[in-house]
Every structure is written in structure tokens, then in C-alpha cells.
Amino acid sequence: MTDVSQASKQSSPSAGGEGFDVAKLLLEGRAFFALIVIIVVFSILSPYYLSVANFLTMASHVAIFGILAVGMLLVILNGGIDLSVGSTLGLAGVVAGFLMQGVTLTWLGVVLYPPVWVVAVLACMLGAAVGLVNGVLIARFKVPAFVATLGVMYMARGLALLMTSGLTYNNLGGKPELGNTGFDALGFNRLFGVPTGVVVLVVIALIGSIVLNRTAFGRWLYASGGNERAAELSGVPVKTVQISVYVLSGICAAIAGLILSSQLTSAGPTAGTTYELTAIAAVVIGGAALTGGRGNIRGTLLGAFVIGFLSDGLVIIGISSYWQTVFTGAVIVLAVLLNAVQYRRRSKLPASTGGQPTSQKRGKAEPANPAQGKTAG
């Protein structure tokens, strides 16, 4: 998997020759090293941590956050934010649960029991629709992403609660005679011993990586996230890109919702509460910049694994869940701190000029200045 951060590594002064710089390596690969440290520390602290079975269990937990985080990465690369994914996850789960109970069409006097694949497709379409609402609000009506997705977050959560009157669908198994069994496959089946959820995460990550690195859409996304005005003047359909990332994020949330309800064998309207924040944290720990244009799938996956393996490790060694919250928060702050260090370093690397990450924001300040934009560093 090659990506943008590799390209930028080559831009160091020693371009061409692979210089060995320990500090730089630690900084660039910090999520990876953090993950190794977490695994080593918990393996020492608990005899149960370092086992294939435990890793697969933890990985299936990570799958939920990982899938959300991939969608969130696309949005953050565009310079936006999607606070609605947790609610979309919950709403998609509830809708799936509702469909599994059978849809009563009163005017026809029949009860429809859609097969599981239809349920899954409908749930994904719902996620896409929620994303479309976000995207249109943001791209066409210029509502700030934070506010638009915050509003949609409440609406989706409210709809999920309305649909079930706050209750949970506990029977998702379906009946063989109705031909709608198999919902638990997403949560419990294994492919070559790997939980389905993890397989789905891997597939989504691979697709995401190909889209980001090998397609015009990926290039458009990096360009419009890095500098929307320049991208637009270069003929990039910035609005289409912007709407698309929210739709894709919504679909990712719906998929995560299906997997979570399957794992829990129940679909509750409050599922996924605050998961959007975990997804954002994973993306940030993975080295993406909230200002857009920087980040990649590999980092985001590592970020998701850091959070997942850390919190599961704390559970295994019996630390209270309150402490888990504190630790997770500390990791996020540290990650953002290191992001700031990294981008500052990067902007200092070119000898003759500096400050490009911030200069586009300030570019307008002094048009008469012959070297404008370079003062920002």
C-alpha cells in the first residue's frame, strides 16, 4: 500500500538517498510504534492478552471503529467532519432490526420478511441517504460541516428512538421458514478463522486505499482538501467530491451498524453513541490533519487498532472503565501534539521557504508583498 505520506517522505533534503533518521522514523511511524508498545506492555501485564483468540476478539471490536474511521478519513481529508456517524450507525441497526421483524403492509394485509441481503442493502442505502443530506447541506447550502452533521446526528438518533419507542430489537435471528435467517453471520461467522467483521474492514480498507491512491476521485479528494480554491480552478468538481465523501461515510456507518447489531444480536436505538468521536480519534492518531489534505488509510487503521487494543487491554488487566476513558483521552492529545510537531518539522525542511501548511489561510493578508505567504512560518 503506497500513499501520500510516502511521497512526502521522499521530499526530505536527502531526496533520492534513504537517510536513516531515528527521530523522524519514530515520528512518522508513531501509530505503528504505539501499537507495538501497547501489545508488548499488555502481554507482559496479562498472560491472556497475547493469544490469537484474544487478538481476533479485539480485532472484531476494532472492526466497528475501523470501518467508521475509514469513512471519517475521507471526510477529514476533504477538510470536513462528520459527527453523525454514531447516530447513523444506530439508525441503520434499528432499521435492520425493524426489517427483520417483518414489514406489515396493512393495506395489502401481508407481512413481508425481506431476506438478509436485502436488509443489508436497504440499511446501506439509508446510510447513504443520511450522508447525502449532510453533503447537500454542506456543499450546496454552505452549512458548516460541524453544525450540519451535528444536527443530522440528533435527527438520526431521534428517529432511531422514535422507531422503537426507545426499546431494543432482540430477535434478529429470523426464521428458516421465512427465509430471512443469517443476520448473525456478520457478527459470528468466520472466514478462515477470521471474524466476518474484520474481513469486511479489510475489504473496505483495501477499496478505500485503491480509491485514494489510484483513482481520479482520490486525487480530487486530496487536492480539494489541501486547497479547495486551487482545486476548483484546476477543474476539480469540488462540490461532487464533497457530497460524495459524506455519502461514503454514511455507508460506512451503516455497514458498521449492521456488524454491531449482529455482534450484539440486538439492535438498540442508542447503539453507537459517541462512536463518531472514537472514529475521529482514530483518524487523528493515524496522522491525518483536521485541516484536510493529509492522511491515509494505513495510518487510520493503525489509529483504530491503537484505540481498540488499548481499551481492550485495560479491560483485560482489570482497570476501571473510568481510567480507560482517561487513557484514551491522553492518547488522543498526545497524537494531536505529535501531528503538530510533524507538520511544523515538515514545513521547516525546505531550506529556502517555509510555512506552506498555513500560508494559504493567510495568503490574502498581504497581496502587495512580493513573498507573500512565506511569512506565515
Partner 1 sequence: MTTASGTEPATGDAVLSARNVVMSYGGVHALKGVNFDIHRGKVTTLFGENGAGKSTLMKILSGVVTPTSGDIVLDGNLVSFSSSSDARDRGISIIHQELSLAPNLSVRDNIFMGRELRTRTGLDFAEESRQARALMADLEEDIDPMTLVEDLRLGQQQIVEIARALSVDSRILIMDEPTSALSATEVEVLFKVIRDLTSRGVSIVYISHHLEEALQITDYAVVLRDGSITATAEAKDIDLEWIVRNMVGENFDLGSPPTGHAFGEVALSIKDVCVTDASGSGYVVDHLSLDVKAGEIVCIYGLMGAGRTELLEAVAGRVPMAGGRALLEGEDVSGLTIAQRIARGLVLVPEDRQRDGLVQTMTVGRNLSLASIEAFAKGLFLSRPRERALIDDSIRKVTIKTAGGHAMIGSLSGGNQQKVVIGKMLTTNPKVILLDEPSRGIDVGAKAEVFRLLSERAAQGLAVIFSTSEVNECLSIAHRIVVMRRGKISAEFGANATKEQIMAASGEAVVA
Interacting residues with partner 1 (CB under 8 A): 4, 7-8, 10-11, 15-16, 210, 214-216, 219-220, 222-223, 225-227, 229-237, 289, 292-294, 346-347, 349-357, 359-360, 363-375
Q: Please, what sign has the CA dihedral across residues 203, 204, 205, 211?
A: positive
Q: Which is nearer to partner 1, 81 or 160 (CB)?
A: 81
Q: Which residues contact 286 (CB under 8 A, 6 or more apart)?
A: 31, 69, 73, 295, 296, 298, 299, 300, 301, 302, 303, 304
How near is the Cβ of 206 to partner 1 at its closest, in Å? 14
Q: Which is nearer to partner 1, 121 or 233 (CB)?
A: 233
| Nearest CA-CA partner of 296 in 28, 22, 17, 18 | 28
How near is the Cβ of 213 to partner 1 at its closest, in Å? 8
212 SS3 class = helix
Q: Which is nearer to partner 1, 81 or 223 (CB)?
A: 223
Pairing of strands 110-112, 103-105: antiparallel
How near is the Cβ of 210 to partner 1 at its closest, in Å? 8
How near is the Cβ of 218 to partner 1 at its closest, in Å? 8
Residue 275: what residue type? Y
How near is the Cβ of 185 to partner 1 at its closest, in Å? 30
Q: Which is nearer to partner 1, 121 or 216 (CB)?
A: 216
| Nearest CA-CA partner of 3 in 290, 370, 316, 288 | 288
How near is the Cβ of 336 to partner 1 at its closest, in Å? 17
Q: Which is nearer to partner 1, 174 or 287 (CB)?
A: 287
Q: Which grid cell sits at 137?
A: 447541506
Q: Which is nearer to partner 1, 110 or 365 (CB)?
A: 365
Q: Which residues contact 5 (CB under 8 A, 6 or more apart)?
A: 28, 287, 294, 296, 299
